[in-house]
């Protein structure tokens, strides 16, 4: 029963968070100074009435509360609205952007988790050695590099060998399925590598810290006293117990995967959700912004919820 109560409580909290986020997303962009349609209306051949025509078309001439109620009503029907800039349904644009983002960000995140875990374990295992110092300092350095700077450095030095922009080479003539897949993968390498390098440092530091804590426990001493080999001690006893904070970090990272990586997608012109948000912000495309932030909110809240459940499973004491 305590566990069910815990789950229900977390679920209610998640739903409330999403609703608050929906409301904030709606009002946040509208209270900023400026006008959503002015830029769209400032085109050379336009009539002075274009601004009013656009405001009418987008419903921006209605009172704010009425716009909010319409937004909630449409959202309840699964309608995210129509983009101000493309006049196409936001759901379609967002779906495509998400499909573009997920493989690239997933590859980068997997890379970060693998490298971060290995370097974290090795650092803890070889604590105080040159290897540990080099690995830890490198992790801190990559963790602190500005993402766009690292992206540009990689782009400048590696673009002779790897594609530096977009998702595919659209100038390929009638590519086969595998040619196309390989082409996408090649285009994915630089942005994924950038993301992986900026993320792995965090994993290294957390795994190292958790490992060091675990290596000081009595049961590790016991394992050693039993005459187990060092590798068995590290992998079977220390690493498994040190994975708890790492799993939490992974769960939280997954929530942010759908946000894409705005800076990385911008530098590499990757047509993902990060680029879409960037474009929407600069164009004040309210429906697109609301849709993108809604997806991000739901994703983060969902994976937080999953992390809570996972934690409750791994450590039942927190449900009491």
Residue 266 engages another protein in binding (rule: CB under 8 A): yes
* Integer CA distances (angstroms), 145 to 134, 140, 194, in order: 16, 9, 11
The stretch among 6-14, 218-226, 264-272, 298-306 that binds another protein (CB under 8 A) is 264-272
Q: Computed over its alpha carbons, how large is the radius of gyration of the chain?
A: 24
Cβ distance to another protein smaller for residue 8 or 172: 172
Cβ distance to another protein smaller for residue 17 or 91: 91
| Neighbour tally for 230: CB within 10 Å | 10
Residue 31 engages another protein in binding (rule: CB under 8 A): no
Residue 79 engages another protein in binding (rule: CB under 8 A): no
Residue 32 engages another protein in binding (rule: CB under 8 A): yes
Residue 86 engages another protein in binding (rule: CB under 8 A): yes
In the complex, what is the shortest distance from the CB of residue 136 to another protein, in angstroms, rounded to a whole number? 21
In the complex, what is the shortest distance from the CB of residue 78 to another protein, in angstroms, rounded to a whole number? 19
DSSP state of 236: I
Cβ distance to another protein smaller for residue 276 or 301: 276
The set of residues, in sequence order, having a beta carbon less than 8 Å from that of 203 and lying 6+ positions away, is 112, 113, 115, 116, 117, 120, 246, 249
Residue 14 engages another protein in binding (rule: CB under 8 A): no
How many residues at the interface with another protein, by CB under 8 A? 72
Residue 144 engages another protein in binding (rule: CB under 8 A): no
Residue 24 engages another protein in binding (rule: CB under 8 A): no
SS (H, E, C) 137-193: HHHHHHHHCCHHHHHHHHHHHHCCCCCCCCCCCCCCCCCCHHHHHHHHHHHHHHHHH
The stretch among 28-36, 61-69, 206-214, 297-305 that binds another protein (CB under 8 A) is 28-36
Residue 207 engages another protein in binding (rule: CB under 8 A): no
Chain positions 284 to 303 lying near another protein, rule: CB under 8 A, are 284
Residue 133 engages another protein in binding (rule: CB under 8 A): no
Residue 194: name the closest of 229, 144, 134, 152 by CA.
152
Out of 7, 14, 18, 50, point to the residue binding another protein (CB under 8 A).
Answer: 50
In the complex, what is the shortest distance from the CB of residue 40 to another protein, in angstroms, rounded to a whole number? 6
Does residue 264 contact residue 270 with C-beta atoms inside 8 Å?
yes
Cβ distance to another protein smaller for residue 137 or 159: 159
Residue 87 engages another protein in binding (rule: CB under 8 A): yes
The site string for another protein over 154-193 (x = CB under 8 A, - otherwise) reads -xx--xxxxxxxxx-xxxxxxx---x--xx-xx--x----
Q: Would you call 89 helix, strand, or coil by DSSP?
A: strand
Residue 129 engages another protein in binding (rule: CB under 8 A): no
Phi-psi region of 87 (alpha: psi -120 to 50; beta: other; left: phi over 0): left
Residue 282 engages another protein in binding (rule: CB under 8 A): yes
Does residue 234 contact residue 127 with C-beta atoms inside 8 Å?
no
Q: Enter the tokens of residue 61.
A: 């001439």
* Integer CA distances (angstroms), 133 to 108, 112, 148, 314, in order: 25, 19, 26, 32
d(CA 246, CA 209): 10
Chain positions 212 to 241 lying near another protein, rule: CB under 8 A, are 235, 239
Out of 12, 20, 24, 53, point to the residue binding another protein (CB under 8 A).
Answer: 53
Q: Enter the tokens of residue 169.
A: 């080479």
């Amino acid at each position: 029963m305590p566990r069910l109560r815990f789950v229900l409580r977390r679920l209610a909290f998640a739903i409330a968070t999403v609703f608050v986020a929906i409301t904030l997303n709606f009002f946040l962009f509208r209270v900023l100074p400026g006008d959503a349609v002015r830029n769209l209306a400032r085109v050379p051949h336009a009539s002075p009435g274009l601004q009013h025509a656009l405001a009418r078309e987008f419903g921006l001439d209605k009172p704010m509360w009425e716009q909010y109620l319409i937004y909630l009503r449409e959202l309840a029907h699964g309608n995210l609205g129509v983009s101000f800039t493309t006049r196409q349904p936001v759901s379609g644009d967002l779906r495509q952007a998400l499909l573009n983002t997920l493989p690239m960000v997933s590859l980068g995140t997997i890379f970060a988790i693998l490298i971060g875990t290995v370097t974290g374990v090795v650092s803890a295992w070889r604590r105080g050695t040159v290897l540990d110092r080099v690995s830890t300092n490198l992790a801190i350095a990559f963790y602190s590099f500005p993402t766009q700077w690292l992206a540009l450095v990689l782009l400048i030095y590696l673009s002779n060998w790897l594609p530096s922009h977009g998702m595919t080479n659209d100038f390929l003539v009638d590519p086969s399925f595998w040619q196309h897949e390989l082409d996408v993968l090649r285009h994915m390498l630089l942005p994924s590598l950038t993301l992986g390098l900026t993320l792995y440092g965090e994993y290294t530091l957390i795994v190292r810290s958790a490992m060091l804590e675990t290596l000081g426990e009595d049961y590790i001493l016991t394992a050693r006293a039993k005459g187990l080999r060092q590798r068995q001690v590290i992998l079977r006893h220390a690493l498994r117990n040190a994975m708890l904070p790492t799993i939490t970090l992974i769960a939280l990272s997954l929530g942010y995967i759908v946000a894409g990586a705005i800076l990385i997608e911008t530098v590499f012109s990757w047509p993902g959700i990060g680029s879409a948000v960037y474009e929407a912000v600069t164009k004040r495309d309210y429906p697109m912004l609301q849709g993108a932030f809604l997806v991000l909110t739901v994703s983060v809240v969902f994976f937080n919820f999953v992390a809570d459940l996972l934690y409750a499973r791994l450590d039942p004491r927190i449900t009491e």
